[in-house]
């Protein structure tokens, strides 16, 4: 069933495509909307997001056994993030997590809700849990500042880029200077029937603004930065989504082995693109070092201050100072890289020095 937000009836609304189909890409002035969102004076309709609930007295301990995150003692209204992994440690699901004291709410990408709910139902066995895909009844409104008018709603606050308990930073950048600090992020759970009333006269920004700020914050997104081979280490997701000291879960062996003894084969990188062409390359374009293809452009946007920016996943072996070229068909775009995941990430056993930080307790 195709979702169409009621807010697409607002003046100037242009519907997004791809992962954000069903909500507005913008409302006529993308860069102005982006400035307003960054300043905290606009809000965003993300009601196409998937929402899955897990209720019952065993919900947190059960999710703890299935996921990469420590959830057993998650307190009401405290935000977290979890990954569901394959046996090989590859990312299957990425969920934003908040509990209201009786129900755990999982906010996911639109395409994740149905398969996640189905998978969870297969895994519940005799435990006292109930799983429901409530995406048709609940939506998400987002902002970069807490919205006073929405104080009664349950809210998920993005932990990025802080390194959580049991987490680990793979970045060469100190936490207190990480660009993600410039993008605080709040996602409010709102009944779809009350969406228009909740927004009221608040200024709206579209999904294009969200993507530009996400890219500038180095924040990976499932379905954009991920493919069927992605492991969390490649995207610096150990900082918010993985607890390295928790008990057994599917994929844990790969998490521990790569972290302690190996290196992730690829690394996430931020690209500042040459803006002289006045166009943007398409996501999925190849990234080249000289004549050699070394990766893929995963997300791209026009940032209101920095111009054209992007995220890409490239081979770990690419030197950090290498000038790269993005090829969209026959059209080249020169790209200067900023390191997100350090080339020497991983293999922490026996590490005597270096810029990677130890796990938080």
The domain defined by 6-216 carries CATH number 3.10.20.600 = no
- Residue 76, both tokens: 């009401």
Rounded to 10 deg, the angle between the 207-216 and 30-39 helix axes is 60
Query: How would DSSP label each residue in 8-50?
Result: GGSTT-EE--GGGTTSEEESS-HHHHHHHHHHT--EEE-TTSE
Residue positions forming the annotated binding site: 187
Q: Domain-by-domain residue ranges, the chain? A: 6-216, 266-340
Task: Answer for the pair 217, 182: CB distance below 8 angstroms, yes or no.
Answer: yes
Residue positions forming the annotated binding site for substrate: 187
Residue in this structure with the two tokens 């390191």, named with its chain if needed:
339
pLDDT digits (tens, 9 = 90+) for 82-106: 999 999 999 999 999 999 999 999 9
CA distance 332 to 286: 10
Residue 358 has pLDDT above 80, yes or no: no
Q: Nearest-CA neighbor of 67 among 250, 236, 240?
A: 250
Q: Which fold has domain 266-340?
A: Elongation Factor Tu (Ef-tu); domain 3 (2.40.30)
Task: Answer for the pair 94, 86: CB distance below 8 angstroms, yes or no.
Answer: no
pLDDT digits (tens, 9 = 90+) for 145-191: 999 999 999 999 999 999 999 999 999 899 999 999 999 999 999 99
Residue 321 has pLDDT above 90, yes or no: yes
- CATH topology identical between 6-216 and 266-340: no
Q: C-alpha distances in angstroms, 339 versus 100, 137, 170, 279?
A: 37, 40, 10, 24
The percentage of the chain sitting over the pLDDT mark of 70, rounded to a whole number, equals 96
Query: How would DSSP label each residue in 268-337?
Result: EEEEEE--TTS--PPTT-EEEETTEEEEEEEEEEEETTTEEEEEEEEETTS-TT--EEEEETTEEEEEEE
Residue 360 has pLDDT above 90, yes or no: no
If pLDDT is split at 50, 70 and 90, which confidence band does 277 have?
A: confident
Report the pLDDT value the prediction gives residue 172, as an integer from 0 to 100.
Answer: 83
Report the pLDDT value the prediction gives residue 1, as an integer from 0 to 100.
Answer: 67
pLDDT digits (tens, 9 = 90+) for 220-272: 999 999 999 999 999 999 999 999 999 899 999 999 999 999 999 999 999 99
CA distance 3 to 48: 7
Task: Answer for the pair 208, 280: CB distance below 8 angstroms, yes or no.
Answer: no
């Amino acid at each position: 069933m195709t979702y169409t937000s009621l807010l697409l009836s607002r003046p100037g609304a242009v519907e997004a495509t791809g992962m954000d189909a069903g909500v507005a890409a913008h409302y006529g002035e993308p860069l102005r909307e982006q400035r307003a969102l960054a300043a905290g004076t606009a809000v965003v309709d993300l009601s196409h997001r998937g929402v899955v609930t897990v209720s019952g007295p065993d919900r947190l301990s059960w999710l703890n056994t299935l996921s990469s995150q420590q959830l057993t003692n998650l307190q009401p209204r405290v935000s977290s993030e979890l990954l569901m992994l394959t046996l090989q440690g590859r990312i299957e699901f990425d969920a934003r997590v908040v509990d209201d004291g009786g129900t755990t709410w999982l906010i996911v990408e639109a395409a994740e809700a149905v398969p996640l709910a189905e998978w969870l139902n297969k895994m519940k066995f005799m435990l006292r849990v109930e799983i429901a895909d409530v995406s048709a009844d609940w939506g998400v409104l987002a902002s970069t500042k807490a919205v006073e008018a929405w104080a009664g709603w349950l809210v998920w606050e993005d932990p990025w880029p802080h390194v959580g308990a049991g987490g680990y930073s793979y970045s060469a950048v100190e936490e207190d200077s990480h660009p993600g600090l410039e993008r605080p992020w709040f996602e409010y759970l709102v009944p779809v029937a009350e969406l228009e009333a909740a927004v009221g006269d608040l200024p709206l920004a579209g999904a294009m603004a969200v993507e530009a700020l996400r890219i500038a914050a180095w924040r990976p997104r499932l379905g954009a930065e991920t493919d069927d081979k992605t492991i969390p280490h490649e995207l610096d997701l150990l900082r918010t989504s993985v607890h390295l000291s928790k008990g057994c879960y599917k994929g844990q062996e790969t998490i521990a082995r790569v972290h302690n003894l190996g290196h992730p084969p690829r690394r996430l990188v931020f690209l500042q693109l040459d803006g002289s062409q006045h166009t943007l390359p398409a996501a999925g374009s190849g990234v080249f070092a000289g004549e050699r293809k070394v990766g893929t452009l995963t997300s791209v946007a026009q940032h209101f201050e920095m111009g054209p920016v992007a995220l890409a996943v490239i081979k770990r072996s690419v030197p950090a100072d290498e000038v790269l070229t993005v090829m969209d068909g026959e059209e080249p775009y020169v790209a200067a890289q900023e390191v997100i995941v350090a080339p020497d990430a991983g293999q922490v056993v026996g590490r005597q020095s270096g810029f990677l930080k130890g796990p938080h307790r």
